[in-house]
Structure 1
Amino acid sequence: MTTVLTTLTKPLTAVLAKLRIDPFIAGILATVGVASLLPASGAIAHGFGVATNIAVGLLFFLYGARLSTQETVDGLRHWRLHVVVLCATFVLFPLLGLATAVLPSGLLSPQLYTGVLFLCVLPSTVQSSIAFTSIARGNVAAAICSASLSNMLGIVFTPLLVALLLATDGGGINGSAVLDIVLQLLVPFVAGQLARRWIGDWITRHSAPLKIFDRGSILLVVYTAFSAGMTEGIWHRIDLVSLLVLAAVCAAILGLVLSITGAGSKLLGFGRADRITILFCGSKKSLASGLPMATVLFGHDRVGLIVLPLMLFHQIQLIVCAALARRYARQALPAPDGDLVRAA
């Protein structure tokens, strides 16, 4: 199967290489285009949602089967890295969100400003953070622990920060979200760890299918999320100038977080693999967690424009981080002892 996919995609990859376009980024943009023209709705959208959940569970099963138990334990013990990621997610981001209040009046409507603040108090993504860390050859075990911890703590931290920074309609977070995280992330990962003794070697020898699955799962998330926005019609409720300003704000916040986490992790003495993990886990915001949280916290009548900054930020972070992940992957070469070294 892998050989067939490689043969079919080789001509397209060659053309994109000549044009200096990253195939992964091209795939993300193409997926956005397809979702814009042919968004999933109704039963089809529900089917894509189920497929996304299955893909996430299978991805974590494969990660569990690929990582040794010692690597997992080391990831759990890496408390300094987790503290840095949590500080970036729940301290740095909210401060940058509050800083957008200095923008001239009229550039962002009250609802869009609320949406920016809401975006900044959300937990990190899990799937794409780990996938990009894997592509960039970072510390995947630490990324799994850090991103999962961020999501679980976000169930508590996000509503508290919303209550502190925003005036909301009330409502709490349903405890079933914690169960969803456990069932979709922790259970498959533990199952993969238990199955490692039988399939671990096969997973290691066939790394190409796992890479394809990493990228494919991200494209599935992009299509599902963008389809939801199209069917809600939120793109027709904002003018072009406001949309461009909002995109610039989202890009500026992402750029600042990437710069601060990149430089800060280096100053703190983290190794290359850990710096990659901090960069990707600390700079993401979860659309999957944000959409249901927004519905609970703000109500269905207000949620449309409030989640627009999150949807826009989500697309920007995927495109930028895809480019960064591929850049890190090209810069890393396998050393004779199996470690990664910087390419000259």
Structure 2
Amino acid sequence: MFKLLAIDRFTILLVLMVILATIVPISGQPAQIFNTLTTIAIAILFFLHGAKLSREAVVQGIMHWKLHALVFAFTFAIFPIIGLMAKPVLLPLLGQQLYWGFLFMCFLPSTVQSSIAFTSVAKGNVAGAVCSASFSNIVGMFITPILVSFFILGKTQHDFDPTASIIKILLLLLVPFILGQILRPYVFPLMSKAPSIVKAFDQGSILMVVYGAFSSAVVAGLWHQVNGWTLFYLTLACSVLLTIIMLLAYYLPKWLGFNREDQVTIFFCSSKKTLASGVPMAQILFIGQPLGMIVLPIMIFHQIQLMVCGVIAAKWSKQAQQQEE
């Protein structure tokens, strides 16, 4: 069963990275070397994700287009609409940079690993989750920069070129993913012998990115701009957003007539946003912007979604087991 303790441990590590960046921020030449190592770690992570994804799961999942269409609508339509509608309330409370980060979070694709893990625990359609989450991340490499260009940077930086950003994102995330798919017959047997390697790269690369991003933000005066009340408002906004999305993702599939397994898959794939893809995208898209302010909303939302989904997945797993018995 998916252990909440693992989530808490990663949450603690993320908080420690923020504290470490606050006390000992990395800058100058060491920061450039560290950023290069982080980029390599992220590329390896997506290579491993590509090698882990089976062709059979892709083919089986693609056939269920109605499920993927609904997850796509949640990820790239409902989330952004709510984020844009919240502007009159959130902009005065959070300020421009944090609201940009909140809106950027709404534009991001779903998670891959946790969506599949929670769906599996709750006895949902795992093949559908594998295909839907992976498809969301691949499509997000194109859609997220376009949404950022149109609703955020295009209004303030008229020379912003989404095409160049898309190419950089594809080179960093998609090309390693495709290489992983091509080399899967050779790489996956080795990964099966060390199943924790993907998780280690997943969490390790995120921790490296968070430390680097917050180091540069601290050097630029992050904690002089964000106080306790601002953090409270941001956490509350993320919690309210997740609650609204989860209610819609719970009742809408039922109303549309999906079976239980598909309802579980839609719920977990539609309600989450990726930190693993989000922070590297932010580094490419928001050059010259306070990156720590931009990624803070997705960091907070990511931890809330993991803890809430962990509780729900465990409950649904017990319910499914009782029904089987």
Smaller-chain TM-score bracket: 0.7 to 0.9
**How far 1:233 sits from its partner (Å)?**
1.3
Amino acid at match of 1:43: Q
Does the alignment pair 1:236 with 2:224?
A: yes
2:123 is aligned to none
1:68 is aligned to 54
Q: Which residues of structure 2 form unaligned runs of 5+?
A: 121-125
Farther-moved stretch of structure 1 (48-57 vs 323-332): 323-332
Aligned positions, number:
307
Residues of 1 paired with 2:251 and 2:60: CA distance? 24
Amino acid at match of 2:243: G
Residues of 2 paired with 1:215 and 1:262: CA distance? 28
**How far 1:187 sits from its partner (Å)?**
2.2
1:280 to 1:107, Cα distance in 2 relative to 1, 3 A: closer
**How far 1:313 sits from its partner (Å)?**
0.9
Report matched runs for 1:1-344 at 5 Å.
Answer: 22-101=8-87, 103=89, 107-109=93-95, 111=96, 115=100, 118-119=103-104, 122-124=107-109, 129-136=111-118, 137=120, 139-162=129-152, 167-265=155-253, 267-268=255-256, 269=258, 270-281=262-273, 286-295=278-287, 300=288, 303-304=289-290, 310-324=294-308, 326-327=310-311, 342=320
Please provide the CA RMSD for this pair.
3.7
Amino acid at match of 2:112: I
Residues of 2 paired with 1:44 and 1:114: CA distance? 30
1:228 to 1:134, Cα distance in 2 relative to 1, 3 A: farther
Structure number having the greater helix percentage: 2
1:151 to 1:64, Cα distance in 2 relative to 1, 3 A: closer
**How far 1:330 sits from its partner (Å)?**
5.5
- Does the 8 A contact of 2:76 with 2:109 survive in 1? no
- Report SS of the residue matched to 1:172: coil
- Report SS of the residue matched to 1:175: helix
**How far 1:316 sits from its partner (Å)?**
0.6
Residues of 2 paired with 1:113 and 1:185: CA distance? 25
Percent of pairs with identical residues: 25
**How far 1:236 sits from its partner (Å)?**
0.7
- Does the 8 A contact of 2:105 with 2:273 survive in 1? no
TM-score (norm 2): 0.76
Residues of 2 paired with 1:224 and 1:104: CA distance? 27
Deviations 1:112-166 (A, max 9, x none): 58536743663336xxx22323443452343122112022122223322348xx8
- Report SS of the residue matched to 2:160: coil
- Does the 8 A contact of 1:25 with 1:323 survive in 2? no
